[in-house]
Structure 1
Amino acid sequence: MSGTSLDGLDVALCRVAGNGPETRLEVERFKTLPYEDSFRNAVREVFARRQIDFQQLCLLNPVIGLQHGEMILECLTEWSIDPSGIDLIASHGQTVFHAPRKQHGLAGFPNATLQIGDGDHIAVKTGIITVSDFRQKHIAAGGEGAPLAVYGDYFLFSQKDKNRILLNMGGIANFTFLPGSLDASLVFTTDTGPGNTLIDALTRHHFGLPYDENGSIAANGVVDEALLNALKDAPFFEQPFPKTTGPEVFSTDYVKNAMHLAGRNAIDPKDLIATLTQFSAETISEAIGNTMRLGEVFEIYASGGGAHNPVLMGAIGKLLGRNIRLIDELGVAGDAKEAVLFAVLANEAVAGEAVHFGGKKGVPGVSMGKISFPG
């Protein structure tokens, strides 16, 4: 898995048995291999931009595939595992643009998303059958291409008589509601808005750091209420659930526009990070609160980079009046969760069948992924 933070490639070695709700999965090894700055900067030239150098995009498609293949082989060597012992690689690829219809607003054009890092190149490089490009089938079947976590969340983490919310805070935050009844038709998933994307981007800009480690910058800032209200005044937050979004909307330009609306020509960088952290916390909390039935009892488990930010986690817990636990308590390390969920999707592609989620919007009952053979 390579996310919008572009920090590196998450590689999870999983042993899987069964399929669908009978899926059993054990994470045997996990490692995040950091990207070199030159690689990260090359991707940022085409990442979430409407105007790009198309030759750069074309060249990066095989380059990312080859880079990911090399990193996978590096992990297998470190773990003393022969590639011939691996059945499948599940590759998410690198998202470079996400354009749901509600976001682009162009008549006659469907939902769309683009991930690069060609699966054929990974398969040939590693000699391992590769399943990739999962999001296109989701869109073809009527979804928006995200969030896809719902499928693995339902198969791996549902438990009888326990309502659970699985909150993932990557660049964009999303959550899945898992009913204690185990009724797939009641499963719900949606993006909520920014997770870490704005916090990371402005931390890089003002402090030269990749992210706000332990929320230390936010903890020393003061929330600017006028700016916070301007950040929350966006069409995305008025759209009905479920919905998806991306850094194409929530960018540094979005923050600049909000500052203009709030009458802030300048702001102390610490206060800006504190405000952006509160912005993520409030939009996450409001999305969860607005989609749960009044009085419904549920547990919340968090994963993703945001789960390591105690300021963000504390604000969400305070707003919801609940203890936010870590997904690690359910047997999968939070940092590995996204990679693990795509392993589940790859397993479904070759060994499963479509699971019906009641025909609800945003969760088509389909098998996803394209298969690439090494030769």
Structure 2
Amino acid sequence: MNRFLNRLIESSKAESRLVIGLMSGTSLDGLDIALCRLEGSGLFSKVKVLQERTSCYSDDFKEDIRSVFSKREVDLEKVALLNAKIGKVHAGLLIEALEDWGVEPSEIDFIASHGQTIYHAPKSLHGLENYPNATLQIGDGDHIAIRTGIITLSDFRQKHVAAGGEGAPLALYGDYILFSSRLENRVLLNIGGISNFTYLPIDSSKIICSDVGPGNTLIDLLARRYFNIPFDEGGQIAARGKVCESLLDELMAHAFFSEPFPKSTGPELFSINFLESTVRNTGNTHLGGEDLIATVTEFTAQAIAKGLNLILKNTESALYVSGGGSHNSCLLESLSILLPKVRIDKLESLGISSDAKEAVLFAVLANETVCGSAVETGGGPVVMMGKISLPE
């Protein structure tokens, strides 16, 4: 038997495993790396985050990705080249992290690599009758496995699509395993480029996981355009601006917000083209950067609140926020006003860093594939996810 397959079998039988989760989201700010100690599987899983970091991307690398990111027409050669390059870059950043942490690659049981989403195309967005849901992540797992010498699980979203899902959001599985509670109704809200939530009622009667609208994507686009900075740190620019109500109303009138849960979306919809056309249609071309950022920040908050209010129906619940948006005070203040019966807290109060959450969740998904079973959540396809790449 291949020695790495044998290693995988041994890992599946061990009391615990060292697993690394890698996540690069639609914000393109860097690679989140989480070194986790995992015990058990399914609802008996226990996870301890031993180390975490975000390794920032160089500006050149970000621009490389943006050249193919969320665009319908791209240079196919560039996509092929980036599939290999992203895998190699991620492997290099992981090796640097292990060296800094004093951890040998041989100590790691396996890697869970999300890769980089470059296009998300659920049928609700592409509208083509003879084509299924689709999504594409690049940064091939074989390159990571070969360069690090560590077994790598990657390309998680394809199994979800194959089983009838949209490939997003996948937080449902990890949120259900790690954060279900018998003491309170919980909402796990992640505000990355796109906002998504998992609703975990006390009785687990109707778990819902769905994208709910834009997260940081429009805010970041405007921050780069008007202020030449990657994001609005802490919501400081939004706090200085004034919300344009006519523009906000038109943004909120988009058909996406009337579609039933669960649903998924991406920067393909909530793009700069979408915003610019709405600005023109509402006669608000005079707005400056601060007012635009204030408006799209409020748009993000209202989109989240509208979706959650449909689910929660004024029941008392606890909301735990993660992702880059969890650091935006202006956004969180709006959410607290729009969700008066919801106690809002950061994910840290549940023992996991807001910034590391998604990397940890992919480590959990890989753990299920190696030593668990398909988890029945009542809210998504019952599948195990991730393609396995061996280092030889």
Give the TM-score, by structure 2 length. 0.93
Give the total of aligned pairs. Answer: 369
Matches within 5 A, 1:283-362: 283-292=303-312, 294-321=313-340, 322-358=342-378, 360=379
The aligned amino acid for 1:219 is A
Give unmatched runs, 5+ long, in structure 1: none
The aligned amino acid for 1:323 is R
- CA deviation digits over 1:123-155, x for unaligned, max 9? 000000000000000001111000101111111
Give secondary structure in 1 for the equivalent of 2:24: coil
Q: Distance in 1 between matches of 2:329 and 2:60?
A: 31
Matches within 5 A, 1:138-157: 138-157=160-179
- CA deviation digits over 1:303-347, x for unaligned, max 9? 000000000000011101133100000000100001000000000
Superposition misfits of 4+ residues, deviation over 6 angstroms: none
The aligned amino acid for 1:370 is K
- CA deviation digits over 1:60-79, x for unaligned, max 9? 00100011011111000001
Q: Distance in 2 between matches of 1:233 and 1:118?
A: 39
- CA deviation digits over 1:158-215, x for unaligned, max 9? 121321001100000010011212x3x5211111110100000011000001000111
Q: Which residue of 1 aligns with 2:77?
A: 55
The aligned amino acid for 1:51 is E
Q: Which residue of 2 aligns with 1:368?
A: 385
- CA deviation digits over 1:290-309, x for unaligned, max 9? 122x3422111100000000
Q: Does the alignment pair 1:6 with 2:28?
A: yes
Q: Distance in 1 between matches of 2:58 and 2:319?
A: 35
Q: Distance in 2 between matches of 1:26 and 1:357?
A: 23
Give secondary structure in 1 for the equivalent of 2:48: strand
Q: Which residue of 2 aligns with 1:136?
A: 158
The aligned amino acid for 1:188 is I
The aligned amino acid for 2:172 is V
Q: Distance in 1 between matches of 2:337 and 2:314?
A: 17
Q: Which residue of 1 aligns with 2:234?
A: 214
Matches within 5 A, 1:28-107: 28-107=50-129
Q: Distance in 2 between matches of 1:147 and 1:82?
A: 32
Give secondary structure in 2 for the equivalent of 1:52: coil
Root mean square deviation of aligned Cα: 0.9
Give secondary structure in 2 for the equivalent of 1:334: coil
Give secondary structure in 1 for the equivalent of 2:373: coil
Give the TM-score, by structure 1 length. 0.97
Give unmatched runs, 5+ long, in structure 2: 1-22
- CA deviation digits over 1:86-110, x for unaligned, max 9? 0010000000000000110001100
The aligned amino acid for 2:302 is E
Q: Distance in 2 between matches of 1:266 and 1:127?
A: 55
Q: Distance in 2 between matches of 1:312 and 1:84?
A: 43
